Amino acid sequence: MQSQQEFRIETRTWLEQNCPESMRTSMVQEEVIWGGRNAEFANPDSAIWLQRMAQKGWTCPTWPSEYGGGGLDKDQAIVLAEELARINARPALTSFGISMLGPVLLEYGNHQQKQEHIPKIVRGEIRWCQGYSEPGSGSDLASLSTKAELQGDNYLINGSKVWTSYADKADWIFCLVRTDFDVPKHSGISFILFDMASEGVSTKPIQLISGSSPFCETFFDDVKAPASNLVGRLNEGWAIAKRLLQHERTMISGFGLSAGQSDDGGTTSSISSLEGTAMHYRGDSKKLSDPVLRDQIARFKIDADAFAHTSRRSLEESKQGQGPNATSSMLKNYGCELNKRRYELMLQAIGTQGLGWEGEGFNDEELQLTREWLRSKANSIEGGTSEVQLNIIAKRVLGLPDILSLAQK
Amino acid sequence: MALVLSEDQQLLKDSAKNFCEQNAPVSVLRGLRDSKDEQGYDQTIWSQMIDLGWAGMAIPEAYGGFDFGYGGLGVVLEETGKTLVSSPLISTVLAGATAIVQLGSETQKQDLLPKIVAGELLTAIALDEHVIHNPSKIATTATRIEDGYSLNGSKTFVLDGHIANMLIVVARTSGETDSEQGISLFLVDANAKGLNVARTIMVDSRNCSNIQFNNVAVAEDALLGELDQGFNGLDTVLDIARIGIAAEMLGSMQTVFESILEFLKQREQFGVLIGSFQGLQHRAAEMYSEIELCKSSVRAALAGLDDPNTTRAEIAELASMTKAKLSEVFFLVSNEGIQMHGGIGMTDEFDVGFFIKRARVAQQFLGDASFHRDRYATLNGF
């Protein structure tokens, strides 16, 4: 068996030869690669980088090679991540297929479903969106009422979803539907996949306080989905739904680690060094002149350090192939709150230059920061609110009595 | 740098946990307090700790130690923190032995370290002179005399100063009072003439001293480390001790948190367990998260100490990060420890009071959260 050191050398060599120079710079928002039928490559090197990484399965390093994944073990994946970080390589592909659907499809899907969908996720050929929240079902997700009825070989789907990220750009959807209305709410949910190009699917973007529209309302009007697209067993979709949320939360918790978070969920360069930016804008050298801001930045950075160590420890503690668990709620909650703190401090750091909306008087980075600051407010709502995460920690990690148990019966 | 314990460290931790629970529970500290024990620690328990090899944990084999690293000493401190064991482990093993390992001459190491491992020598670091920790602001002087130095000045908050056989004294040999330049360290026999040690009984039932030096004469070879250039080495010693104390604080806050959880799961009001109230659940969940961050910080800092590639600057950053974080969270958890237990938390009979008292002393020891945030900012260039 290959030693870790050999793997590192081999990986380093391959990356040196295959990662285009322009891909070794911090990601900019417009160049995040989401793949899909209508994939956009603002920088042509992105297409080359994606193609090369996908061929090795390294867009999904730990997924089985049988389905096009990298087939790496946990330690090798850490080495790969370290080597990518060493050259500041951009993510070749960012997608909800990778961060959310793929892992649960590998766990719960049948062979045929994996064969059909996993390789396309690895190669970035199909862009997925998430059909979870509904107008009447936010934190109480399990109360969802989008209905799926079996008619012949198809499910007939009617209802609507909301906060569907990039539904207007996605090719397929993984969707929670109610398949039984006569049982307790958790026991009548199923998990189904279908093509967003199907007849009866329509989407409408929602404009956010940040001015952008990363989310949509999504409507289903007699949409037909083949019965074979049901993942897992009928009416047992809630377990899959929760499992997927753990993956989603782990992904979102990464915002607490990153330099910043764009509308696309990827990291951007608009926020580099908080303290450096503050000193630059305030004309300070050597030491920040505002002692209160200085203390707040120090506290933030200390918490961010401690959080980074915690994410890493959590990764080291998780057993090979086991994936995230309830502590993903802790990471999600803390990471999101950190990211929000980061933006608040950044805004404070640059004073009135952080308060522009558009036009003259502000540079692009400043305007982007203002928008990202507003966008970051959603971090503690999306993927389950901070309050829901605290409920989960209390119940699943600390074993405290469930306040909602009566309400759920 | 691994953030999970090695198998050996885990075994050591389990054995330390077992020892502290069986032999040194909080009731021992309570007994020392109630009997106004003159030493302030239990000699029998300390002897057992020596037999377990805890004093030699981080001392190299060449000097009679067990070379188990600070990762090893750290897990022991975490466990002693859980039951608030009062012993010379902090003053002599964590701080004293580290100072000698880091700064001592070969002769000093050969002479002193085996005695610490064997439990024959207790030390105390005489550093602070003010109500707020400031290791470079040193007014105590050591002036040149024939055959050595003469020490004058006063020290405060000297942990275990009243039981130490030997004091490690931070003194000024040149420079201005608040300059890092001109600081030197001296080994001073506790029986030296001109030394006045007054024990202070602290709120946490551990013991410190105020010490006065009136023309205390020491020989040439009492100098520990370089003349005038002692500060950097001292700072590293303090950083190691700060990380060690953070490990102890980690243990203590875990005990408080476990006690809170237990209470939330058995106390009923309004006909239900109070642990079902969201107002309490969320506070518990937030504390849990903060404690997890503390655990990771302590593990990372200890692993950093044992990694030969870690630079002094990195150790300083790890130490300030960890001490600042642990001080904040122990503050939070100890306060919640009282509040969430309600009335019983205010009673002396219940142990949680010992922990809030310990928290405040540990928070200030070797720099509180604001000291370390300031230092962290300076280290990071802002």
**Candidates 3.40.50.720, 1.10.357.10, 1.20.140.10, 1.10.10.10; correct CATH number of B231-379?**
1.20.140.10
Interface of B with A (CB under 8 A): 2-4, 261, 264-265, 272-273, 275-278, 281-282, 284-286, 288-289, 292-297, 299-300, 320-321, 324-325, 370, 373-374, 376-378, 380-382
Domain ranges of chain B: 7-120, 124-229, 231-379
Same domain as A312, residue A163: no
Q: What pLDDT is recorded for position A321?
A: 59
Shortest Cα distance, chain A CAs vs residue B32, angstroms:
34
Please name the helix (run of DSSP H) or strand (run of DSSP E) that holds residue B247, with its range, or none.
helix B230-266
Q: A306 and B297 in contact by Cβ < 8 A? A: yes
Q: Which residues, 6+ apart, have CB-to-CB distance to B353 below 8 Å?
A: B338, B345, B346, B347
Instruction: Please list the ranges in chain B whose pLDDT falls under 70.
Output: 1
Rounded mean pLDDT, A337-351: 96
Answer yes or no: are the C-beta atoms of A333 and A389 closer than 8 Å: yes
Answer yes or no: are the C-beta atoms of B156 and B198 closer than 8 Å: no
Same domain as A138, residue A39: no
Q: A288 and B382 in contact by Cβ < 8 A? A: yes
Q: What is the DSSP letter of A154?
A: E
Shortest Cα distance, chain A CAs vs residue B246, angstroms:
13
Q: Which residues, 6+ apart, have CB-to-CB distance to A311 below 8 Å?
A: A253, A254, A256, A257, A331, A335
A164: helix, strand or coil: strand
Same domain as A96, residue A34: yes
Shortest Cα distance, chain A CAs vs residue B296, angstroms:
5
Q: What is the ipTM of this complex?
A: 0.95
Please name the helix (run of DSSP H) or strand (run of DSSP E) that holds residue A131, with its range, or none.
strand A128-131
Rounded mean pLDDT, A299-303: 97
Measure CB to CB from residue A295 to each of B281, B285, B373 and give the nearest one: B373
Q: A299 and B276 in contact by Cβ < 8 A? A: no
Please name the helix (run of DSSP H) or strand (run of DSSP E) that holds residue B297, with its range, or none.
helix B278-306
Same domain as A403, residue A332: yes
Q: What pLDDT is recorded for position A319?
A: 66
Chain A residues close to B376, C-beta within 8 Å: 298, 301-302
Q: How far apart are CA A359 and CA A367, in angstroms?
A: 9
Please identify, among A105, A122, A139, the residue that sits at the C-terminal boundary of a domain.
A122
Same domain as A225, residue A258: no
Instruction: Report residue B357 as tokens.
Output: 């008292």
Chain A residues close to B370, C-beta within 8 Å: 295
**Whose structure tokens read 């105390």?**
B124
Same domain as A358, residue A290: yes
Same domain as A230, residue A255: no
Q: What pLDDT is recorded for position A78?
A: 87
Q: Which residue of B has its CA nearest to A405?
A: B276
Q: Look at residues A110, A190, A182 and name the one whose alpha carbon lies nearest to residue A150.
A: A190
Rounded mean pLDDT, A171-194: 97
CATH number of A217's domain:
2.40.110.10
Rounded mean pLDDT, A106-116: 97
- pLDDT class of A269 with cuts at 50, 70, 90: very low
Q: Is the pLDDT of residue A352 over 90?
A: yes
Chain B residues close to A303, C-beta within 8 Å: 293, 325
Q: Residues B372, B377, B380, B381: is their CA dihedral positive or negative? A: negative
Q: What is the DSSP letter of A355?
A: -
Chain B residues close to A290, C-beta within 8 Å: none
Answer yes or no: are the C-beta atoms of B116 and B164 closer than 8 Å: no
Q: Which residue of B has its CA nearest to A279?
A: B382
Q: How far apart are CA A218 and CA A167, in angstroms?
A: 7
Interface of A with B (CB under 8 A): 275-276, 278-279, 286-288, 294-295, 297-299, 301-303, 305-307, 309-310, 312-313, 316-317, 327, 330, 333-334, 387, 389-391, 393-395, 397-403
Q: Residues A327, A329, A331, A333: is their CA dihedral positive or negative? A: negative
Decide: residue A322, CB within 10 A, 0-12 exposed, 13-18 middle, 19+ buried.
exposed
Q: How far apart are CA B170 and CA B19, in angstroms?
A: 35
Answer yes or no: are the C-beta atoms of B142 and B170 closer than 8 Å: no
Q: A399 and B300 in contact by Cβ < 8 A? A: no
Q: A403 and B296 in contact by Cβ < 8 A? A: no
Please identify, among A235, A270, A297, the residue that sits at the C-terminal boundary of a domain.
A235
Chain A residues close to B295, C-beta within 8 Å: 310, 313
Answer yes or no: are the C-beta atoms of A2 and A73 closer than 8 Å: no
Chain B residues close to A301, C-beta within 8 Å: 376, 380
Q: How far apart are CA A27 and CA A23, in angstroms?
A: 8
Q: Which residue of A has its CA nearest to B373?
A: A298
Q: What pLDDT is recorded for position B175?
A: 96
Q: A403 and B288 in contact by Cβ < 8 A? A: no
A109: helix, strand or coil: coil
Q: B376 and A298 in contact by Cβ < 8 A? A: yes
- pLDDT class of A395 with cuts at 50, 70, 90: very high
Chain A residues close to B289, C-beta within 8 Å: 330, 333-334, 393
Same domain as A116, residue A136: no
Best residue in A302, A320, A325 to probe B by mutation, most B CBs within 10 Å?
A302
Best residue in B293, B326, B368 to probe A by mutation, most A CBs within 10 Å?
B293
Measure CB to CB from residue A397 to each of B288, B293, B373 and give the nearest one: B288
CATH number of A342's domain:
1.20.140.10
Q: Which residues, 6+ apart, have CB-to-CB distance to B309 below 8 Å?
A: none
Measure CB to CB from residue A313 to each of B3, B278, B325 and give the nearest one: B3
Shortest Cα distance, chain A CAs vs residue B276, angstroms:
5
Q: B288 and A297 in contact by Cβ < 8 A? A: no
The stretches of A31-128 forming alpha helices (DSSP H) are: 44-56, 74-86, 96, 102-108, 111-122
Q: Which residues, 6+ apart, have CB-to-CB distance to B271 below 8 Å?
A: none
Label residues A1-19 b or e (16+ Cβ within 10 Å = b).
eeeeeebbeebeeebeebb
Same domain as A404, residue A255: yes
CA distances, A278 to each of A287, A356, A369, A373, B28 (Å)? 10, 17, 14, 16, 51
Same domain as A231, residue A84: no
Label residues A196-219 b or e (16+ Cβ within 10 Å = b).
beeeebebebeebebebebbbbbb
For every residue of A254-273, DSSP letters joined together read GGGTSS---TTSS--SS---
First to last CA, chain B: 27
Residue type, B139: A
Chain B residues close to A333, C-beta within 8 Å: 289
User: What digits encode the pLDDT tens for the residues B39-48?
Assistant: 999 999 999 9
Instruction: Report residue A269 as tokens.
Output: 């360069």
Shortest Cα distance, chain B CAs vs residue A302, angstroms:
5
Shortest Cα distance, chain B CAs vs residue A39, angstroms:
39
Answer yes or no: are the C-beta atoms of B220 and B147 closer than 8 Å: yes
Q: Look at residues A137, A326, A404 and name the one whose alpha carbon lies nearest to residue B281.
A: A404
Chain A residues close to B300, C-beta within 8 Å: 309
Answer yes or no: are the C-beta atoms of B226 and B58 closer than 8 Å: no
**Candidates 3.65.10.10, 3.40.50.800, 2.40.110.10, 3.30.930.10; correct CATH number of B124-229?**
2.40.110.10
Q: A306 and B296 in contact by Cβ < 8 A? A: yes
Please name the helix (run of DSSP H) or strand (run of DSSP E) that holds residue B172, with its range, or none.
strand B166-172
Chain A residues close to B374, C-beta within 8 Å: 294-295, 298
Q: A303 and B293 in contact by Cβ < 8 A? A: yes
Rounded mean pLDDT, A106-112: 97
| CATH number assigned to the domain covering B7-120 | 1.10.540.10
First to last CA, chain A: 53
Rounded to the nearest 5°, which phi and psi values hold at B157?
55, 40
Domain count within chain A: 3
Q: Look at residues B90, B78, B87 and name the one whose alpha carbon lies nearest to residue B251.
A: B78
CA distances, A160 to each of A189, A290, B141, B230, B254 (Å)? 15, 50, 79, 71, 46
Shortest Cα distance, chain B CAs vs residue A288, angstroms:
5
Structural domain harbouring A306: 242-408
CA distances, B372 to each of A352, B237, B320, B321, B324 (Å)? 30, 15, 5, 7, 5
Measure CB to CB from residue A316 to each of B3, B321, B374 and give the nearest one: B3
Q: Look at residues A238, A57, A225 and name the one whose alpha carbon lies nearest to residue A155.
A: A225
Same domain as A182, residue A107: no
Span of A249-253, A260-264, B123-127, B246-250 with lowest mean pLDDT:
A260-264
Q: How far apart are CA B261 and CA A157, in angstroms?
A: 45
Measure CB to CB from residue B293 to each of A275, A307, A394 and give the nearest one: A307
The rounded radius of gyration (Å) of the Cα atoms in chain A is 22
Q: A330 and B292 in contact by Cβ < 8 A? A: yes
Please identify, among A122, A148, A172, the residue that sits at the C-terminal boundary of a domain.
A122
CA distances, B262 to each of A259, B199, B333 (Å)? 39, 37, 15
CA distances, A378 to each of A244, A361, A388 (Å)? 19, 27, 14
Span of A110-114, A268-272, A332-336, B14-18 with lowest mean pLDDT:
A268-272
Shortest Cα distance, chain A CAs vs residue B254, angstroms:
13
Q: How far apart are CA A176 and CA A388, in angstroms?
A: 19
Measure CB to CB from residue B325 to each of A302, A316, A397 and give the nearest one: A302
Q: A401 and B325 in contact by Cβ < 8 A? A: no
Q: B276 and A397 in contact by Cβ < 8 A? A: no
CA distances, A117 to each of A50, A114, A241 (Å)? 18, 5, 18
Q: Is the pLDDT of residue A322 over 80?
A: no
CATH number of A46's domain:
1.10.540.10
Q: B278 and A391 in contact by Cβ < 8 A? A: yes
Cβ-Cβ contacts under 8 Å between A and B: the total is 122
Chain B residues close to A139, C-beta within 8 Å: none
